[in-house]
């Protein structure tokens, strides 16, 4: 089952296959080597991103959603992804490759819990999104300021406490008041939330976990791009 | 309830009432005093409140009951019921009345009186109560002398006991002259803290009593004590009636945020419950509630706020500001407590937003500040309070473990009530479980489910669900049997026939249909395991962050406080990695230490000073914002831990070889079963 692998001897197809597997196992150094190898063979940075890293993270996301992988494994995978992205990001900027999307994310005011939110941020990055993480305890002003600054496609809000989740409505109401609610996709998540709550506060969707968040974000981005074209 | 509206009848209790259209079944049940479990308070996440519509014409009740007499099922409700294998049920929190219905509340949905032994343990307490009795003979009034009887009583008390600068409660003042007349100038006086006269009784009288109370989110315990001997005359406990407004603290705070009269309702509910407990305890000791001259209260910060009628909403979010951290003395009558009319209530101090008077009481009882050894004290609930330290330093933290340990967020979870699986053993070879339920001493393999009587082997209660200690043992045993891998996945290579696979997901059959109350198997699902992993990691990581702050790698002793702590087998707590490695012999459950602490403060007033000093000196660490919390949390998700060693479990843990195929390796082409 185990054999030494010489990267330069692999076919391109096997190289991408290996990248997905090493991402699954959270092997950051290997990912770096493989990304460099692919680039050395003349692959476009955007192809390395989508065929290798994003495709690999999709498998991770699916298995996380299905309960086969859990938080530690996903974090390892996300770290490996990050290592690969560090190489690709400047190249992607240079080539002006199409962006998958961008997101501002933060835990709402009064709430200081962020592990779940961090996981969503990493998975979103893993799916190729630009993510601006505002951290914990965010007021309406923080969100609005970040939205103005980064002009994200998506706003993600998280709450772990029953008592802090109503603040999401405060933020959404503020977006409406400023007349920018329709310009942005609002995704919400956190332990005490559910779909009914998301609907009641007029968020675009409730995301049960990080994997669902990525799926939902992609779905909305497709609709958004479809409309824009 | 009104003349109009529709009939809602609950079975098996038979309670009935008319309700206007649109009322939820849960609201109707509450109105009628029918106890239905509800943990998430209507947020469609717990599924505990499921009930069944009994269809048909019920002549006896004069109604036609059909399923369409409730609002139609939403997608979310349908999905939740499906996941619970309860398609024939409705969730009473969301189904609304649109016609007459007869509702059956299944056993597992009934809110039963919990079995939690909150008995007072024997501890050595030096008796020096805040209340003292003095028999004095007061000077006779004379013409031309204008001290007044209160002045004369003060002089008598100064002569007899050296007491000065006294005040007198108005109620006692009203009794003064009649008592002097009746006692022929001889009176027995009750003095509080050498400061206030709270009672004057004619002649020589003996007997003075106090009540120590621990207000838990789930259970309220009261100990009636003889203040001269320290003897516990009666112990009473009851469920906290606020539970109908929300199972956990945050749900209750949320209730006050959403309902204008929420604070008032919950305040009234707890006062009513305490009055009942006081009366019951007094009755058990052949006394009356008005013989209780003082009460000492411990409780978590939210419970204390609600007890005082203070809106706890500030505790609902960071920075978790307390209205008052310090101890308080107030008149019982101001709270509506029916004790002695001049009785005082002493409320113990708190440490921080979510480390309350109950934790201070635990410290009073356990006295880590008098030990050389380093103790880790863990009070497990929906919010775990953790204290670490010894005589030189003490630190505390609060970790949001969530309600998984109380049976919520577990698919077959229930509170510790009859029928709840509380002990689990899993055969290492077959992977089959034997278990014990609350209410029956025998293990399930001694049950004869088809017998006609209990003596012939029929179980007293069939399994209705899994309670907190049960799920801990189940997960730990599954791991020891190799059915669960250290990362929390079910092991696809395990040969047991008790794993049901659906694709690459599995669920474990803990109880077979003939062993359960509803005839459906009880499963431990992958999500259940994940929820337990999250809860235990939060607790472990909280303890670990404190240990790192203190620069220590191991603790000498672990104390499991709280009613739940008494039910956890220390060994399984270790196997699961709920607590850091420690000699199992040195892990002790101390029961309701908070109640003991309240009793100590009732019997010894110097301890109240000590409590204040402790509350101010314990260093509270906000673990959620600690830099290393996430890393510790992630490491603690593994069973027992990804990297921290558990040398005390060396002989018990499965050999690493058994899980070798799950370990990542370098530079290997691996194949996965599917993508």
pLDDT at A111 over 80: yes
Candidates A67, A70, A162; nearest CB to B250: A162
Contacts of B482 (CB under 8 A, 6+ apart): B428, B491, B494, B654, B658, B659
- Chain A residues in contact with B635 by the CB 8 A cut-off are 72
What's the confidence (pLDDT) of residue B620? 95
Asked if A195 has any chain B CB less than 8 Å from its own CB, the reply is yes
Query: Which residues, in sequence order, are bridge partners of residue B661?
Result: none
CA distances from B478 to B427, B510, B536 (A): 9, 10, 16
Question: Which residues, including other chains, have CB under 8 Å from residue A154's CB and lie 6 or more apart?
Answer: A101, A102, A103, A104, A129, A184, A185, A186, A187, A217, A220, A221
Cα angle for residues B336, B341, B345 (degrees, 5° grid): 65
Taking contacts as CB-CB distances below 8 angstroms, the residues of chain A near B488 are 70
| Chain A residues 133-172 with CB within 8 Å of chain B | 136-137, 160-164, 166-167
User: Is-contact B126 B604, C-beta < 8 A?
Assistant: yes
Minimum Cα–Cα distance from A21: chain B residue = B670
Cβ distance A70 to B675 less than 8 Å, yes or no, reads no
Q: From the list B317, B318, B489, which residue is nearest A68 (CB)?
A: B489
Task: Render A52-116 in DSSP notation, one character per residue.
Answer: IIIHHHHHHHHHHHTTSS-HHHHHHHHHHHHHHHHHHHHHHHHHTPPP--EEEEEEBTT----HH
3-state secondary structure string, B369-426?
A: HHCCCCEEEEECCCCEEEEEECCCCEEEEEECCCHHHHCCCCCCECCCCCCEEEEEEE
Residues of chain A in contact with residue B622, where contact means CB-CB under 8 angstroms, are 112
B248 CB neighbours in chain A (<8 A) are: 162
Whether B664 shows a pLDDT value over 70: the answer reads no
DSSP H helices in B441-525: 468-480
Q: Do B505 and A72 touch (CB under 8 A)?
A: no
How does DSSP classify residue B580? -
Cis status, amide bond into B298, omega within 30 of 0 = no
CB-based contact A192 B250, cutoff 8 Å: yes
Asked if B511 and B432 touch (Cβ cutoff 8 Å), the reply is: no
Q: Do B487 and A72 touch (CB under 8 A)?
A: yes
Residue B106: the pLDDT is 81
**Residues of chain A contacting residue B633, judged by C-beta atoms under 8 Å apart:** 115
Q: Taking CB atoms and an 8 Å limit, are B668 and A18 in contact across chains?
A: no
For the stretch B157-191, pLDDT in tens is: 999 889 999 999 999 999 999 999 999 999 999 99
Q: What is the pLDDT of residue B37?
A: 76
Give the chain B residue whose CA is nearest to the CA of A167: B317
Task: Count CB neighbours of B49 within 10 A.
Answer: 27
Q: What digits encode the pLDDT tens for the residues A138-187? A: 999 999 999 999 999 999 999 998 899 999 999 999 999 999 999 999 99
> Given this model, what pLDDT does residue B111 score?
66
A2–chain B Cβ distance below 8 A for any pair: yes
A8 contact B CB<8A: no
How many whole angstroms separate alpha carbon B29 and alpha carbon B16?
Answer: 9
pLDDT of residue B414: 84
Considering only alpha carbons, which residue of chain A is nearest residue B490? A68
pLDDT of residue A83: 94
Q: Is the pLDDT of residue B667 over 50?
A: no
Chain A nearest-CA distance from B147, in A, is 58
Residues 6+ apart with CB under 8 A from A179: none
A112 and chain B in contact, CB less than 8 A: yes
Cα maximum dimension of chain A: 61
**What integer pLDDT is reported at residue B39 of this predicted model?**
63
Q: Is the pLDDT of residue B341 over 50?
A: yes
Most confident of A96-100, B387-391, B410-414: B387-391
| Facing residue for A113 by CB, picked from B400, B487, B634 | B400
Confidence of residue B572 (pLDDT cuts 50, 70, 90): very high
Size of interface A-B (CB pairs under 8 A): 119
> Residue B670: pLDDT above 50?
no
A200/B contact by beta carbon, under 8 A: no
pLDDT in tens, B130-155: 999 999 999 998 898 889 999 999 99
The helices-and-strands tally (H runs, E runs) of chain A is 10, 5
Predicted local confidence at residue B376, as pLDDT: 97
Query: Minimal Cα distance from B485: which residue of A?
Result: A68
Query: Do B639 and B488 form a contact (C-beta atoms < 8 A)?
Result: yes
> Could you report the per-residue pLDDT of B400-436, keeping only the tens digit for each?
777 777 777 789 988 788 899 999 999 999 999 999 9
Between these two residues, B453 and A71, which has the higher pLDDT value? A71
pLDDT band at B660 (very low <50, low <70, confident <90, very high): very low
Q: Which residues of A touch B397 (CB under 8 A)?
A: none
Q: What is the pLDDT of residue B590?
A: 87
Confidence check: pLDDT of A11 > 90: yes
Interface mutation vs chain A, best among B321, B634, B674, most A CBs within 10 Å: B634
Q: Is the pLDDT of residue A229 over 50?
A: no
A190 has pLDDT over 90: yes
pLDDT at position B42: 67
The verdict on a CB contact (< 8 Å) between B318 and A24 is no
Residue A192 has pLDDT above 90, yes or no: no
Q: Does A25 touch chain B (CB under 8 A)?
A: yes
**Would you state the pLDDT for residue A144?**
97
> What integer pLDDT is reported at residue B603 of this predicted model?
95
Over residues B604-617, mean pLDDT: 96
Tell me which residue of B152, B151, B148, B150 sits closest to B139, measured CA to CA.
Answer: B152
| Closest chain B CA to residue A7 | B667
Q: Which residue is listed with tokens 């002006």?
A: A96
How many Cβ atoms are within 10 Å of B518's Cβ, its own excluded? 17
Res B568: pLDDT:
87
Q: Answer for the pair B104, B92: CB distance below 8 angstroms, yes or no.
A: no
Token couple for B256? 């006050």
Q: In this complex, is the C-beta atom of A3 within 8 Å of any C-beta atom belonging to chain B? A: yes
CB distance B133 to B190 below 8 Å: yes
Under an 8 A CB cutoff, do A67 and B530 touch?
Answer: yes
The count of other CB atoms within 10 Å of the CB of residue B255 is 21
Tell me whether residues B634 and A72 touch, CB distance under 8 A. Answer: yes
Of B251, B634, B638, the CB nearest to A162: B251
Mean pLDDT across the stretch B458-464? 87
User: pLDDT band for position B657 (50/70/90)?
Assistant: very low
Name the band, by pLDDT with cuts 50, 70 and 90, for residue B518.
Answer: confident
pTM value is: 0.82
Q: How many CB atoms lie within 10 A of CB B453?
A: 8
pLDDT tens per residue across span B42-87: 667 778 788 988 887 776 667 888 899 999 998 888 988 888 888 8
> Residue B671 above 70 pLDDT?
no
Matching residue, tokens 């092991």 = B491
Of B526, B622, B637, the CB nearest to A72: B637
Contact A208/B at CB under 8 A = no
Residue contact B318–A137, C-beta within 8 A: yes
Q: Are B407 and B414 spatial neighbours (Cβ–Cβ below 8 Å)?
A: yes
**Residue with more model confidence, A213 or A67:** A213
Paired with B557 in beta bridges are B375
The helix or strand, by DSSP H or E, that contains position B346, with its residue range, turns out to be: strand B344-347
* Minimal Cβ distance to B634: which of A75, A162, A191: A75
Strands (E), chain A: 102-107, 130-133, 154-158, 185-189, 205-206
- Per the CB < 8 Å rule, is A197 touching B316? no
The predicted structure's pLDDT at residue B421: 95
Which residue from B minimizes the CA distance to A135?
A: B625
In chain B, whose CA is at the least distance from the CA of A137? B318
Tell me the average pLDDT of chain B: 89
Q: Quick one: CA dihedral B550, B553, B557, B558, positive or negative? A: positive
CB hemisphere CA count around A7 (13 angstroms)? 17
Sign of CA dihedral B76, B81, B84, B87: negative
Mean pLDDT of B345-369: 96
Percent of chain B at pLDDT > 70 equals: 93
Higher-pLDDT residue of B202, A6 = B202
Higher pLDDT, B229 or B331: B331
C-alpha distance from A94 to closest chain B C-alpha (Å): 32
Residues of A in contact with B499 (CB under 8 A): none
Cα–Cα dist A76/A60, whole Å: 10
**ipTM of model:** 0.90
* Of the partner residues B43, B316, B630, the one whose CB lies closest to the CB of residue A110: B316
Give me the mean pLDDT over the B195-204 stretch: 95
| Cβ within 8 Å, pair A5-B250 | no
Name the residue facing B318 among A25, A110, A118 (closest C-beta).
A110
């Amino acid at each position: 089952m185990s054999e030494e692998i010489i990267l330069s001897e692999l076919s391109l197809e096997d190289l991408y296959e290996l990248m997905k597997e090493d991402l699954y196992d959270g092997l950051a150094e290997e990912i770096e080597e493989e990304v460099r190898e692919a680039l050395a063979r003349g692959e476009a940075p955007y192809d390395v991103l989508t065929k290798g890293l994003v495709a690999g993270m999709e498998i991770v996301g699916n298995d996380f959603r299905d309960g086969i992988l859990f938080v530690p494994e996903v974090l390892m995978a996300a770290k490996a992804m990050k290592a690969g992205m560090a190489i690709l990001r400047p190249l992607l900027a240079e080539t002006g490759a199409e962006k998958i999307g961008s997101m501002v994310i933060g835990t709402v005011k009064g709430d200081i819990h962020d592990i779940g939110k961090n996981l969503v941020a990493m998975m979103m990055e893993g799916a190729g999104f630009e993510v601006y993480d505002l951290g914990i305890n965010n007021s309406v002003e923080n969100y609005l300021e970040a939205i103005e600054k980064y002009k994200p496609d998506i706003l993600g809000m998280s709450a772990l406490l029953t008592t802090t989740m109503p603040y999401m409505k405060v933020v959404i109401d503020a977006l409406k008041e400023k007349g920018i609610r329709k310009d942005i996709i609002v995704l919400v998540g956190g332990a005490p939330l559910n779909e009914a709550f998301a609907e009641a506060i007029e968020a675009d969707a409730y995301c049960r976990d990080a994997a669902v968040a990525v799926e939902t974000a992609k779905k909305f981005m497709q609709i958004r791009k479809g409309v824009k074209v | 309830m009104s003349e109009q509206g529709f009939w809602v009848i609950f079975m098996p209790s038979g309670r009935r009432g008319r309700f206007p259209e649109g009322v939820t079944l849960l609201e109707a049940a509450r109105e009628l005093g029918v106890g239905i479990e509800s943990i998430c308070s209507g947020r469609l996440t717990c599924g505990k409140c499921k009930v069944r519509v009994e269809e048909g014409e019920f002549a006896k009740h004069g109604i036609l009951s059909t399923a369409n007499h409730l609002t139609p099922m939403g997608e979310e409700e349908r999905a939740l019921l499906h996941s619970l294998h309860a398609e024939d049920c409705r969730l009473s929190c969301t189904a609304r009345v649109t016609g007459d219905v007869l509702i059956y509340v299944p056993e597992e949905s009934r809110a039963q009186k919990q079995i939690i032994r909150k008995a007072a343990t024997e501890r050595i307490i030096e008796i020096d109560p805040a209340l003292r009795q003095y028999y004095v003979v007061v000077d006779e009034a004379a013409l031309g002398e204008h001290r007044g009887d209160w002045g004369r009583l003060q002089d008598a008390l100064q002569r007899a006991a050296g007491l000065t600068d006294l005040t007198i409660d108005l109620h006692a003042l009203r009794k003064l002259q009649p008592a002097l007349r009746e006692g022929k100038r001889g009176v027995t006086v009750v003095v509080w803290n050498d400061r206030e006269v709270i009672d004057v009784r004619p002649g020589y009288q003996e007997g003075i009593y106090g009540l120590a109370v621990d207000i838990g989110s789930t259970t309220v315990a009261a100990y009636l004590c003889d203040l001269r001997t320290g003897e516990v005359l009666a112990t009473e406990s009851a469920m906290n009636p606020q539970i109908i407004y929300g199972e956990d603290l945050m749900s209750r705070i949320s209730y006050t945020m959403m309902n204008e009269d929420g604070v008032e309702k919950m305040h009234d509910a707890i006062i009513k419950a305490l009055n009942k407990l006081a009366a019951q305890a007094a009755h058990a000791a052949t006394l009356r509630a008005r013989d209780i001259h003082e009460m000492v209260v411990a409780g978590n910060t939210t419970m204390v706020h609600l007890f005082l009628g203070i809106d706890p909403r500030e505790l609902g979010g960071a920075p978790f500001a307390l209205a008052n951290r310090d101890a308080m003395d107030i008149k019982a009558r101001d709270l509506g407590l029916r004790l002695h009319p001049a009785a005082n209530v002493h409320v113990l101090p708190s440490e921080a937003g979510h480390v309350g008077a109950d934790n201070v009481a635990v410290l009073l009882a356990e006295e880590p500040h008098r030990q050389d050894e380093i103790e880790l004290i863990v009070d497990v609930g929906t919010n775990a309070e953790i204290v670490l330290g010894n005589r030189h330093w003490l630190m505390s933290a609060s970790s949001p473990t969530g309600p998984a340990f109380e049976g919520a967020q577990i698919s077959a979870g229930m509170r510790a009530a009859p029928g709840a699986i509380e002990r689990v053993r899993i055969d290492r070879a077959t992977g089959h479980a034997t278990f014990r339920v609350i209410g029956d001493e025998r293990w399930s393999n001694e049950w004869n489910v088809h017998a006609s009587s209990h003596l012939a082997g029929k179980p007293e209660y069939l399994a209705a669900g899994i309670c907190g200690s049960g799920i801990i043992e189940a997960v730990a045993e599954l791991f020891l049997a190799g059915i669960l891998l250290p990362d929390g996945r079910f092991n696809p290579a395990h040969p047991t026939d008790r794993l049901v696979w659906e694709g690459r997901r599995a669920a474990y059959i803990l109880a077979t249909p003939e062993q359960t109350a509803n005839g459906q198997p009880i499963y431990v699902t992958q999500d259940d395991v994940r929820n337990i992993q999250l809860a235990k990691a939060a607790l472990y990581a909280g303890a670990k962050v404190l240990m790192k702050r203190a620069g220590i790698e191991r603790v000498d002793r672990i104390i499991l406080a709280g009613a739940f702590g008494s039910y956890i087998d220390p060994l399984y707590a270790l196997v699961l990695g709920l607590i850091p490695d420690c000699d199992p012999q040195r892990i002790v459950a101390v029961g309701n230490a908070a109640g003991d602490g309240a009793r100590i403060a009732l019997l010894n007033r110097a301890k109240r000073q000590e409590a204040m000093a402790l509350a101010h000196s314990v260093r509270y660490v906000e673990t959620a914002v600690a830099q290393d919390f996430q890393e510790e949390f992630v490491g603690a998700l593994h069973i027992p831990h990804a990297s921290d060693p558990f040398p005390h479990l060396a002989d018990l843990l499965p050999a690493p070889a058994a899980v070798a195929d799950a370990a990542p390796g370098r530079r290997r082409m691996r194949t996965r079963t599917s993508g």
